[in-house]
């Protein structure tokens, strides 16, 4: 084990522990960014450049931003004045300690693990693209379909429920419908102006 690996691993694990134990959720999200970046550095160190940069793009760029947005939208950024851990937290900690002990024991005592590092494989972007277009083309298409469906589903789930039949019929639905009526003429004007400009 080289010194850079140890340093990156310690930083990653400390950031992960901070992300799971800090009180302020914005700080948790920022520690999570450090964890993802450390994992990307570990991938780079293991010779998986493409996966490392994909990790930075997807996790640091997209997932962390999404989490920060969710924290702000659910107003969780203020400090909670009650306990941050669920009532049965000691059982949860014990279960995860048992899981870590089992996994660590298996990693340290397995006889079949390869002992030395083989020569670095050639994992260029060209090779990956070739494989994605030939052998893994069906999983690639399925992933594309899954991402499209998941993004549409996420938008539909998170969308505000607009009143469909009678706007303003109940007190709870009155606020969004008024907003809708306020914004609608402006949108119509914009649309007509654009249409007039094109014709």
Partner 1 sequence: MTPLQGCLLVSALLFAIGLAGAVTRRNAILALIGIELMLNAANLNFIAFWRYGPNPEALTGMMVVIFSIAIAAAEAAVGLALIIAIYRHYKTANLDEIKNLKG
- Candidates 144-152, 166-174, 175-183, 184-192: pick the segment binding partner 1 (CB under 8 A): 144-152
Task: Tell which one of 4, 27, 125, 131 touches partner 1 (CB under 8 A).
Answer: 131
Q: Which is nearer to partner 1, 54 or 180 (CB)?
A: 54
Instruction: Please name which of 59, 77, 55 lies closest in space to residue 68, comparing C-alpha atoms.
Output: 77
Separation between Cα atoms, residue 83 and residue 99, nearest integer Å: 25
For residue 92, state whether it binds partner 1 (rule: CB under 8 A): yes
Q: Which is nearer to partner 1, 96 or 183 (CB)?
A: 96
Separation between Cα atoms, residue 43 and residue 15, nearest integer Å: 17
Task: Tell which one of 78, 81, 87, 164 touches partner 1 (CB under 8 A).
Answer: 87
DSSP assignment, residue 79? P
Give min distance, CB of 155 to partner 1, in A.
7
- Candidates 139-147, 173-181, 182-190, 191-199: pick the segment binding partner 1 (CB under 8 A): 139-147
Instruction: Please name which of 149, 129, 147 lies closest in space to residue 137, comparing C-alpha atoms.
Output: 129
For residue 4, state whether it binds partner 1 (rule: CB under 8 A): no
- Candidates 73-81, 162-170, 176-184, 186-194: pick the segment binding partner 1 (CB under 8 A): 73-81
For residue 123, state whether it binds partner 1 (rule: CB under 8 A): yes
User: Per the structure block, which two tokens stand in for 145?
Assistant: 């379909």
Counting Cβ atoms within 10 Å, is residue 109 exposed (0-12), middle (13-18) or buried (19+)?
Answer: exposed
User: Per the structure block, which two tokens stand in for 58?
Assistant: 């997807």
Please report, as residue ranges, which positions from 8 to 47 form the binding site for partner 1 (by CB under 8 A): 9, 12-13, 16-17, 19-21, 25, 28-29, 32, 35-36, 39, 42-43, 46-47
For residue 97, state whether it binds partner 1 (rule: CB under 8 A): yes
**Residue 18 CB contacts under 8 Å (≥ 6 apart), including other chains:** 27, 28, 31, 34
Q: Yes or no: say if 145 and 69 are a contact pair by the CB < 8 Å rule.
A: no
For residue 187, state whether it binds partner 1 (rule: CB under 8 A): no
Q: How many residues bind partner 1 (CB under 8 A)?
A: 87
């Amino acid at each position: 084990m080289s010194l850079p690996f140890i340093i990156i691993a310690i930083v990653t694990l400390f950031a992960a522990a901070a992300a799971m134990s800090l009180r302020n959720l914005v700080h948790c999200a920022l520690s999570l960014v450090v964890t993802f970046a450390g994992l990307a550095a570990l991938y780079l160190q293991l010779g998986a450049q493409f996966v490392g940069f994909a990790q930075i793009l997807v996790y640091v760029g997209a997932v962390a931003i999404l989490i920060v947005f969710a924290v702000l939208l659910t107003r969780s950024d203020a400090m909670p004045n009650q306990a941050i851990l669920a009532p049965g937290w000691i059982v949860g900690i014990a279960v995860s300690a048992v899981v870590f002990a089992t996994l660590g024991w298996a990693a340290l005592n397995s006889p079949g693990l390869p002992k030395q590092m083989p020569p670095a494989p050639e994992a260029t972007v060209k090779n990956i693209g070739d494989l994605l277009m030939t052998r893994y083309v069906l999983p690639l298409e399925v992933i594309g379909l899954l991402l499209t469906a998941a993004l549409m589903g996420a938008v539909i789930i998170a969308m505000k429920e607009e009143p469909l039949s009678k706007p303003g019929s109940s007190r709870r639905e009155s606020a969004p419908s008024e907003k809708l009526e306020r914004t609608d003429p402006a949108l119509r004007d914009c649309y007509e102006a654009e249409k007039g400009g094109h014709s």
